[in-house]
Amino acid sequence: MPSSGIQSARYSRQTRFAGLGQTGQERLAKARVAIVGLGATGSTIAHGLLRAGIGYLRLIDRDWVETHNLPRQSFYTEADAEQLQPKVVAAKAHAQQINSACAIDALVLDLHAGTIDQALAGVDLVLDGTDSLETRLLINEWCVREQVPWIYSGVLGGHGMTANFRPQQACWRCIFATSPEPGSMPTCETAGVVGPVVGVIGNLAATEALKLLSGQGQANPDLFMLDLWAWQFEHVPMPAPRPDCPVCGLRHFDLLDHASEPTISLCGRNAIQIRPQQPTTIGLARLAQHLYQADLRVVQTDYLLRFAADSLQATVFPDGRVIVSGTDDPAVARGFYNRWINH
């Protein structure tokens, strides 16, 4: 662990900045932050907070590094993709090389109603790096219920948005009163994304996090939107909390109070995720042996197992979660799952 003198010199340029100062830096060193989603915006946010001296980061993501992530997801390398590294595992390894004084927990985890309490417990701030609207709505409900601030970030194509949501102020549902049907909106998988836009939005969110966690400076009170490709920027004033808001007004936590669907389509990925209805574990070595006996080619790491059969590909995690790629039909994915995995 670096000595306090070395740490003081490390952050000297930040502490000389009047907007932060030594007091703000000391608060950052004690701050506990969770980042949900370590893709493009999430990895940019994590990078910024690590270098700024955040004391604790909890990294939460359900996916692994793929080659098509590399143009915009700043933490990862070609080696991470070749080794099928879970994003949070790769991110933690790189993060420890950036700032060894930061305590880091890496959770290979699908965030849902059954996992969110444990996943987010004890943090001062939640940062949204997810590309899932359902997960974002779940984060909003949890943060309203637990009175924890969170920062929203979203990027699509050349567009980006970010906003701060704090206790006793308007929540996500106050602004976005209605939500589109799952799968009805474009995603980065379907509409693409320009890497530098991710950097702008992620660093804006990281800056807002530094203000909130240090208690220094005035946090942005608006919803900030940009079209970086067209060089257009807009601030939309946040409304007052709505008394009829189903979440912060009426205190209805529908997503938190009900079990999520065990089988969901991953929008734009031609893939279905199957989650066990009861907590379970899958012995990857035992499953691999079963698949070898069926003359299937298996790739196994410490964190996942992958194989292909019947023109589909499955990625299996130790917690029982499976992603079946090559179909958007839940019935087909479930049949594949029952044939090869749930035996």
Give residue 143's pLDDT. Answer: 98
Residue 104 forms beta bridges with which residues?
Answer: 57
Q: What is the mean pLDDT of residues 156-163?
A: 94
The pTM (predicted TM-score) of the whole model is 0.91
CA distance 121 to 118: 5
User: What are the residue numbers of the active site?
Assistant: 188
Residue 197 to residues 159, 160, 167: CA-CA distances in angstroms?
7, 7, 28
What is the side-by-side order of every strand in the sheet holding 271-274?
263-266, 271-274, 322-325, 312-316, 305-309, 298-300
Residue 47: count other Cβ atoms within 10 Å of its Cβ: 21
Comparing 183 with 159, the larger pLDDT belongs to 159
| pLDDT single digits (tens) 46-73 | 999 999 999 999 999 999 999 999 999 9
Q: Does residue 95 contact residue 102 with C-beta atoms inside 8 Å?
A: yes
Question: In 3D, which of 323, 331, 318 has the Cα closest to residue 287?
Answer: 318
Ordered domains of the chain (ranges, CATH): 4-257 (3.40.50.720), 263-340 (3.30.310)
Buried b (16+ CB within 10 A) or exposed e, 82-116: eebbbbbbbbbebbeeebeebebebbbbbbbbbbb
Lowest mean pLDDT among 96-105, 196-205, 261-270, 289-298: 261-270
Question: Where does 128-261 have alpha helices with state H?
Answer: 133-146, 172-175, 188-191, 195-214, 254-257
pLDDT tens, residue by residue, 161-192 = 999 999 999 999 999 887 666 555 656 665 67
